Structure 1
Amino acid sequence: WLNDTEKRTLLDTLDAEQRGFQKSTGSYLQALRSRNVVLLSIQYFLWSLGIYGFVFWLPSIVKNGTGQGIGSTGLIAAIPYAFAVIAMLINGRVSDKTGRRARCVWPWLLVGGLAFYGSYVAGDHFLVAFALLVVAGACMYAPYGPYFAHIPELLPRDQAAPSIALVNSLGAVGGFAGSYLVGWLNGLTNSTDASFLLMAACLLAAAAIMFLVKAPKPTSATANHPVAA
């Protein structure tokens, strides 16, 4: 739907953004040793640890807190995901309109971590604790779109594929670690307190790492054509 001038402007802008990166040799090993890739991998590991601990153990938390049967427990446990759908749509639209991907990632992770900590503080007050878990669930899912749109913007084109693969791989490991550690802590302490603190700490650390990721310096061409910035 773009006219010829708009197409050329967009392509020139994308090329200008790529010139902001250091020259790449195209080596997969170089991509995997990139500072940004390492940081993003650690970040996604911590994020996934929190989110999969939440996903696998939320029904148990709800059942223990309400004493309901499996049907009612399933319906109650679905509430955070309903809010997550709304949050993802809103955050994705904001990200696309503003182009500020990082700002559509770390605040959600920060609020999610604080919500987990609030659930821990709420203790036996199930309604308060669950309301905060709804917030945490929505906040953990909301940044997915902007996050994976942001990664290719931080890397040379020839390094994007292996780098995204590494980030996803560490996320998968974090998912296993989250589901395992939360269950282990719950069994060890006979309480969910320690697991809530673990998930809160992981999300807060993931939010903080976003500030360590360095975007390439824009070239003059990029500055003149902010359409893709």
Structure 2
Amino acid sequence: MAISSFGRFETYAARLAAVSLSAAVALPLGGVAAHAGAVGAVPTASAPELPAPAFRLFSSELRIGDSGPEVKRLQQRLMDLGYWLDTADGEFGGLTLHAVWALQKAAGIDRDGIVGPITRKALDNGVRPSAQTSSGQVVEIDLERQLLLVVSNGTVEKVFNTSTGSGKKYESRGEQHVAVTPKGRYSVFRDVDAWDPGPLGSLYRPKYFNGGIAIHGYTSVPPYPASHGCARVSIKAMDWLWESGRLDIYSTVLVR
């Protein structure tokens, strides 16, 4: 008789005359098993081993607006893999969408924000991006995958959805520019602990690392390049970056 379908043990009793024998089969996380001998049956051979079920977190498609235990398990799995979320509250809101986008970017799959079979497989496989640096405390901006990574001695600790320079032309103060985020190794040299107004709009709690280019919070952070050159993250993600101390003055920022 199966006692639990998640993280417990299945036991069965099938015995001869006065002999009592029990076996426990460990279930992997997310696995579901049901196995029991027929009541009153007397086996003539030892019970077969249960096949190890594949790791699966979810049984249905999940998307923004959903809620409940399956969403909470999704959130916890994302957090366990390093994709930043403030909490696992069972509500599929904007921050969960950003974390799903980040996972999809790391996996190289469609950035639709929907947790369907392909995205579930990426979760099952434990997809995580890798760092380019191997030492020190660094914030890496991956332009190709549009990810912002918080890295410690080569280990990726947190992964954020980001949106960098769109590559489009724009005009500012009567001059033509191209919206790019230049590659290179920089240091944070100035920050503003507030909304910082500028000619192209206000930036939330910006950390400037290259002229007027900053990592900053913004109300719109799509899963593709859309900024004038800065690296956008969500408002709450920017709050975390400030509070974590990982983007203090002189912190290293690698754009790659």
Alignment TM-score, normalising by the size of structure 1: 0.23
Specify the structure having the higher radius of gyration (Cα): 2
Higher relative contact order (CA 8 A, sep 6+): 1
Higher strand share: 2
Alignment TM-score, normalising by the size of structure 2: 0.22
